């Protein structure tokens, strides 16, 4: 069993060659948001940029996309007609994924799920996208609920699922909230093997498994139990997948950096910590 430490970053952050060009270190697509929720895809995107991703493209329903685009000039948000993801949007999502893969020579990944909602049509659209998608993908939040209804949509080692304890229950039917870490490790490993994917179970100790190996991350703390810190985690993981890092390693690095950035921010802010403070601390965490 691995205990994650700073050495994990050596697999990710190597000197960039002088002739490096845009997209060599990742193009990330963040699919999320709805009429009422715009923060989740924005936070994931900002975290990915801070982690060194060369470019992030956000795909969201129009109101969410417009709000996100107003946050910063670096935010490229493509608006989908309507208030939430619908099945009519699938061809757009898949064509944009293929275009991203082409322009980046394969250095592309997807983050999907944050703020999308759980209406029947949105859940079906997410499920169909996951079934057709061929890019490495971080499956989070509402996309986990969609995956639970169609677990065959998961894409083996290309995928990373990032549930909290409740989402893990939705996905697997296994209640782990009150179990010991040892008991959780066994269950996470079994479920990752069953689904043929990598699972990052978020908690005070993050438990990561690809069905064979297991890693534990202990950075973080109670002040990170706030809205938005899971979105920054998914953005970090997506940025690492977009670099071509395998899902098991990407999950470990994302958990480590997210937790350490939170620790650094807490030293200054304590109870006042919010997710954007964590994101601002990512550069120090990866230095």
Task: Answer positive or negative: Cα dihedral of 94, 98, 103, 106.
Answer: positive
**The two three-digit tokens of residue 281, written as one number:** 């601390």
The pTM (predicted TM-score) of the whole model is: 0.98
Q: Measured between alpha carbons, how far is residue 30 from residues 107, 118, 181, 236, 256 in Å?
A: 14, 18, 31, 12, 21
For the chain, domains (ranges, CATH) are: 2-8+22-286 (3.40.1190.20)
What is residue 71's predicted lDDT score, i.e. its pLDDT?
Answer: 93
278, 262 in Cβ contact below 8 A? yes
- Alpha carbon distance 47, 138 (integer Å): 14
pLDDT at residue 11, rounded to an integer: 84
Per-residue pLDDT of the chain (287 residues), as tens digits, is 999 999 999 989 999 999 999 999 999 999 999 999 999 999 999 999 999 999 999 999 999 999 999 999 999 999 999 999 999 999 999 999 999 999 999 999 999 999 999 999 999 999 999 999 999 999 999 999 999 999 999 977 689 999 999 999 999 999 999 999 999 999 999 999 999 999 999 999 999 999 999 999 999 999 999 999 999 999 999 999 999 999 999 999 999 999 999 999 999 999 999 999 999 999 999 99
């Amino acid at each position: 069993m691995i205990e994650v430490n700073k050495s994990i970053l050596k697999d990710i952050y190597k000197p960039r060659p002088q002739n490096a060009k845009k997209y060599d270190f990742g193009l990330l697509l963040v699919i999320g948001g709805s009429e009422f929720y715009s923060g989740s895809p924005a936070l994931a995107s900002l975290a990915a940029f801070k982690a060194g991703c060369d470019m992030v493209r956000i795909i969201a329903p129009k109101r969410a996309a417009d709000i996100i685009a107003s946050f910063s000039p670096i935010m490229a948000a493509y608006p989908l007609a309507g208030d939430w993801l619908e099945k009519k949007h699938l061809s757009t999502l898949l064509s944009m994924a293929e275009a991203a893969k082409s322009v980046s020579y394969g250095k592309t990944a997807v983050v999907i799920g944050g703020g999308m909602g759980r209406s029947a049509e949105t859940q079906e659209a997410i499920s169909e996208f996951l079934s057709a998608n061929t890019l490495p993908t971080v499956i989070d939040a509402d996309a986990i609920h969609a995956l639970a209804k169609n677990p065959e949509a998961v894409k083996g080692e290309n995928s990373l699922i990032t549930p909290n304890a409740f989402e893990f229950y939705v996905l697997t039917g296994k209640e782990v909230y009150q179990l010991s870490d040892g008991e959780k490790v066994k269950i996470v490993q079994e479920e990752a093997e069953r689904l043929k994917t990598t699972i990052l179970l978020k908690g005070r100790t993050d438990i990561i498994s690809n069905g064979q190996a297991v890693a534990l991350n202990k950075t973080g703390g109670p002040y990170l139990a706030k809205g938005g810190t899971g979105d920054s985690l998914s953005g970090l993981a997506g940025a690492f997948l977009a670099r071509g890092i395998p899902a098991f390693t990407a999950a470990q690095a994302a958990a480590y950096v997210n937790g350490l950035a939170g620790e650094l921010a807490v030293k200054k802010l304590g109870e006042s910590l919010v997710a954007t403070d964590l994101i601002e601390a990512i550069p120090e965490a990866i230095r």
